[in-house]
Amino acid sequence: MKELTPKSEDFSKWYVEVVQKAELADYTPMKGMMVIRPHGYAVWENVRNALDRRIKAAGHVNAYFPLFIPESFLQKEAEHVQGFSPEVAWVTVGGKEELEERLAVRPTSEAIIGHMYAKWIKSWRDLPVLINQWANIVRWEKVTRPFLRTTEFLWQEGHTCHETAEECEAETLRILDLYRDVCEAELAVPVLTGRKSLSEKFAGASMTYAVEALMSDGKALQMATSHNLGQHFSKAFDIRFEDRNQTLQYVWQTSWGMTTRTIGALIMVHGDDSGLRFPPRVAPVQVVVVPISIGNWKETVLPAARAAAESLRAAGLRVDLDAREEATPGWKFSEHEMRGVPLRLEIGPRDVKAGQAVLVRRDTGAKETARLADLGARVPALLDEIQAGLMAQAKAFLEANIRDAADYAEFKAILETKRGFVRAAWCGGEACEARIKAETMATIRVIPTEEAASKTDRPCVSCGGAGQALAYFARAY
RNA sequence: CGGGACGUGGCGCAGCCUGGUAGCGCACAUGCUUGGGGUGCAUGGGGUCGGCGGUUCGAAUCCGCCCGUCCCGACCA
């Protein structure tokens, strides 16, 4: 549990080390499969709860569909099967018997859900269907990294059906905004939102919208996606309803997901050379109480530390009392910094005498003393400040790393020297997009959805043709 | 999947070139000591060197194949 490689020296190494040293995850004997350890899983639980609250508040209900999908189902939507087939894991044997039809371990659940929806939906009165599921997913990725890309990962996937195209699009965008809100309000990760180019969209969607964040090494990370599936799947799976005019119509569908990858974003956006810095809203432990062990501390300091921890717990905070005898205070400080605890509360003999405690912020390192009687008010306020402080810091970084490129030379120079997002005009042509990707490794992360934000009179940064939209380009994870 | 690096107690490494059955630091256990930023000392337990095969009297060391990890690309949430 020593010496973390500095972020600036080797970002990838720093990332892998901090994941392990903070005990968020660990590797297993199977390639690309990791254990999410209790400290990491607690983060996921907090993210999940925040998301789940919002999904339900927006009118959705949770359900659970099977892990396996018959091969023939996956094949019903041509683009879908083509997009996912390279990374599907198959079950071919059950017990000792060879299966007649092999089963895919779900890489996403549109196919099985589509099949069930066809059975359940008959009338416009059945619509909208607003179902979400929390599930595990398997995609046989060639290159894996803890949280960012693993063979199996956890996520939620929403699958909705609507009467009209307009309603469907509205749902897609409502969810996009929901994701933005979770990222910014809970994870303290500022994001760009917008649509994807056609080449980057979900296999089988009409349009994909995404929430993109900027990691502190200047690479972008997709935090969530919201797809307008149009009628692609309803036609493939025959999901029809009789509308208000007594004609049969195919439903309009959306699907959307957010994954355990968000934990990777939390690490890469907020972490520093001492380890993790979790935003209080999703931190597994919000306050750690460290008694300063000197002399007869167990009789004097420890009871005061217990009382402080208890009172904060009673106020609804997630509090850990680190009363271990085998570790020194300094050791504990470092360890809890590594683990990202937002606020440390130190109580020593001097404090007990003075009826106070020392509060140390993880985000800034700032120390202050507070009267024990005031902790109930001061600690929650400080946690709010830390949450806001992390957001402000990340936002300043994002804004400082969005740069406009007038021409291709400038575009390339920015990506070479500074990275971050480059905002540039694009003609809408796939050839230009592909060329930019090949030459700079940058892809279109999002094209802002609002007319005003994407409108441009500048020529395409690649070909010089008429610019159709302003797009945000970046190298991405 | 292409290029590169690596695989030796839990972790990080040395030893390999010039074969002779393992060593260091941290961690761990015990005791004392210390304690407001990773305390110090002593004692002790733990590996047969990623796997398989070959060469050899003898392999961590040489050769071949395989597996895995990390980095850089192509693919992806």
Dump the DSSP string for A137-197: EE---SS-BTTTB-SEEEEEEEEEEESSHHHHHHHHHHHHHHHHHIIIIIS---EEEEEPP
What is the value of pTM for the model shown?
A: 0.95
- Whether residue A62 is predicted with pLDDT greater than 90 in this model: the reply is yes
Nearest of A187, A342, A268, A285 to residue A16 by alpha carbon: A268
Q: According to the model, what pLDDT value does residue A93 have?
A: 85
Place of tokens 């569908």: A253
Chain B positions with a protein C-beta closer than 7 Å: 1, 26-29, 34-39, 67-77
Through-space separation of residue A13 CA and nucleotide B17 C1' in angstroms: 30
Mean per-residue pLDDT for A58-86? Answer: 93
A392-402, pLDDT tens digit by residue? Answer: 999 999 999 99
Task: Flag whether pLDDT at A60 surpasses 50.
Answer: yes
Residue A339 has pLDDT above 90, yes or no: yes
Quick one: which residue's CA is nearest to B74's C1'?
Answer: A438
CA of A223 to C1' of B62 (A): 50
Q: How far apart are CA A23 and CA A26, in angstroms?
A: 7
| ipTM metric | 0.85
The 10s digit of each residue's pLDDT in A191-224 is 999 999 998 999 999 999 999 999 999 999 999 9
Contacting residues for A70 by C-beta, under 8 A, at least 6 apart: A101, A103, A104
Give nearest nucleotide to A295 (CA–C1').
B35
The nucleotide lying nearest A298 (C-alpha to C1') is: B35
pLDDT value for A208: 96
B11 nearest neighbour residue (CA to C1'): A1
pLDDT band of residue A3 (cuts 50, 70, 90) is: low
* Banded pLDDT at A251 (limits 50, 70, 90): very high
Q: What is the mean pLDDT of residues A240-264?
A: 97
CB A264 within 8 A of CB A258: no
pLDDT band of residue A157 (cuts 50, 70, 90) is very high
For helices A11-21 and A261-270, what crossing angle results, to 10°?
Answer: 110
Residue range A434-477, pLDDT digits in tens = 999 988 889 999 999 887 788 888 999 999 999 999 999 999 98
What per-residue confidence (pLDDT) applies to A382? Answer: 98
CA dihedral sign of residues A208, A182, A150, A146? positive
Q: Give the pLDDT score at A55.
A: 98
The pLDDT of residue A211:
96
Q: Name the 3-class secondary structure at A422.
A: strand
Average pLDDT, chain A: 93
- Each residue of A304-327: pLDDT tens digit? 999 999 999 999 999 999 999 989
List, for residues A105-141, the tens digit of each pLDDT value: 999 999 999 999 999 999 999 999 999 999 999 998 8
| β strands within A174-263, DSSP E | 191-195, 207-214, 220-230, 240-242, 248-250, 252-259
Q: Is the dihedral of CA A39, A42, A48, A51 positive or negative?
A: negative
| CA–C1' A152–B45 (A) | 38
Closest residue by Cα to the C1' atom of nucleotide B25? A2
pLDDT band, very low/low/confident/very high, at A403 (cuts 50, 70, 90) = very high
- CA–CA gap between residue A292 and residue A289 (Å, rounded): 10
E strand or H helix that includes residue A404: strand A402-404
* pLDDT, position A1: 38
